[in-house]
């Protein structure tokens, strides 16, 4: 069993190395950040419809929600399956498997490093937005900000676990990333990224809340934007889904490794 100090050293080294690596791809990351403007486009669409006001949302709440959703989206992007598929198919996973560290930690660190690289680009985009429309930004209380950031990080972990589970299909299929795209549709519609959940009919809302997707956008975005939110229910949902997915990922990993052919290596 590794000591906490040794684990901390691994985390620090992995993060600093991955950050250095991501900085090499800063231009690409800036373009990725730019391509994540869907919530801002949806804001434009919803501002011109009366549906949000019918659901009891003021124009300011609507704007803050979609800007918060934009931030949540930026810092919970998970691209694991695309690199993992390449690594499994080409055998690049093999060197990681030969070391006494679960390879998924490397991918996790790479995601965190990519988020850190993204921060200045997202900040610039927000500044540009506030220059165009100062009412788009708001100042949340410290408590709300901390709770919101915790929920945002939880949303990222949940998305990472969900994609880890679908990534395990890479051990069986060479095109698992294509299967993962099937999850994009429910993610877009049930998470609150395209439309606030309050605007859905009650039955659809109930269905959405029974899935992990609202915890990935709706919950952290509401917290950050200061909208009324079920704090306990939201965190509980994050926790329960993480607890459900973790053993499934472990099971998939163990089964998948038996199938791994280390091709190309």
Q: How far is the CB of 226 from another protein (least distance, A)?
A: 41
Cα dihedral 156, 159, 161, 162 in deg (nearest 10): 180
Does 144 interact with another protein (rule: CB under 8 A)? no
Q: Is 100 in the site for another protein (CB under 8 A)?
A: yes
Residues in 240-259 at the binding interface with another protein, rule: CB under 8 A? 257-258
Measured CA distances, 71 to 28, 75, 153 (Å) = 18, 6, 12
- 236 part of the interface to another protein, by CB under 8 A: no
d(CA 120, CA 116): 8
41, 101, 137, 244: residue in contact with another protein (rule CB under 8 A): 101
Whether the CA torsion 250, 253, 257, 259 is positive or negative: it is positive
Of the ranges 8-16, 54-62, 128-136, 237-245, which one interacts with another protein (CB under 8 A)?
8-16
Which of 28, 59, 95, 120 touches another protein by CB under 8 A? Answer: 95
Which residue in the set 55, 77, 79, 91 belongs to the binding site for another protein (CB under 8 A)? 91
How many residues are listed for the chain in this entry?
A: 265
Measure the CA–CA gap between 86 and 88, rounded to whole angstroms. Answer: 6
**Cα–Cα dist 7/108, whole Å:** 14
Residue 151 contacts residue 238 (beta carbons within 8 Å)? yes
Q: Binding another protein by CB under 8 A: which of 6, 182, 204, 243?
A: 6
Interaction of residue 13 with another protein, rule CB under 8 A = yes
d(C-alpha 49, C-alpha 46), whole Å: 5
Nearest approach in angstroms of CB 91 to another protein is: 6
Say if residues 198 and 55 touch (Cβ distance below 8 Å). yes
Q: Does 174 bind another protein (CB under 8 A)?
A: no
* Residues making contact with another protein (CB under 8 A): 2, 6, 9-10, 12-14, 17, 20-21, 24-25, 91-92, 94-101, 257-258, 260-262, 264-265
């Amino acid at each position: 069993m590794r000591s906490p100090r040794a684990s901390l050293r691994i985390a620090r080294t992995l993060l600093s190395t991955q950050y250095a690596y991501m900085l090499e791809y800063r231009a690409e990351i800036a373009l990725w950040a730019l391509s994540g403007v869907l919530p801002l486009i949806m804001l434009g669409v919803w501002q011109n419809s009366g549906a949000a006001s019918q659901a009891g949302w003021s124009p300011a709440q609507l704007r803050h929600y979609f800007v918060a959703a934009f931030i949540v989206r930026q810092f919970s992007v998970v691209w694991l399956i695309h690199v993992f598929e390449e690594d499994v198919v080409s055998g690049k996973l093999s060197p990681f498997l030969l070391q006494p560290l679960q390879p998924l930690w490397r991918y996790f660190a790479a995601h965190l490093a990519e988020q850190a690289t993204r921060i200045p680009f997202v900040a610039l985009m927000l500044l540009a937005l506030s220059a165009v429309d100062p009412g788009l930004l708001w100042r949340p209380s410290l408590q709300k900000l901390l709770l919101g950031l915790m929920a945002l990080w939880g949303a990222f972990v949940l998305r990472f676990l969900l994609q880890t589970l679908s990534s395990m299909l890479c051990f069986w299929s060479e095109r698992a990333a294509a299967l993962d795209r099937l999850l994009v549709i429910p993610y877009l519609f049930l998470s609150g990224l395209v439309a606030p959940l309050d605007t859905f009919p009650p039955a659809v809302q109930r269905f959405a809340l029974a899935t992990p997707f609202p915890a990935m956008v709706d919950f952290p975005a509401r917290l950050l934007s200061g909208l009324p939110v079920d704090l306990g229910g939201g965190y509980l949902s994050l926790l329960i889904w993480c607890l459900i997915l973790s053993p499934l990922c472990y099971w998939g990993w163990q089964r998948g490794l038996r199938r791994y052919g280390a091709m190309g290596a």
